[in-house]
A = this chain, B = another copy of it.
């Protein structure tokens, strides 16, 4: 099954810095990423997708997911239905 890397830009909108103050953690919290990933896992079988791992950067709001799937479109359909469409989905046939 082909592998895909998908990228989410600023999954959670960055808050205004004055609103946020110095104590806020904008972007992706561990809980938010876990919930988003679980939402994918809950429906991924319907498109034969296997989301394997996800990484997030709270400061930039970037998230990357690695998956195995029949197509990039299948990956995107699951992400869209789970409420967090990817900004880009790339095939990654090369891996070391």
Contacts and interface: CB of A to CB of B under 8 A. Distances in A.
Interface range on chain A (Cβ under 8 Å from partner): 20 to 34
Interface of A: 3, 5, 28-30, 33-34, 37, 53-60, 62, 64, 66, 90-96
B30 A64 contact: no
A60 to B, nearest CB: 6
Given A33-B96, A37-B96, A5 B57 contact: yes
A96 B37 CA distance: 7
A5 to B, nearest CB: 6
A72 to B, nearest CB: 10
6 contacts: A28-B94, A37-B96, A53-B95, A54-B95, A55-B95, A56-B92
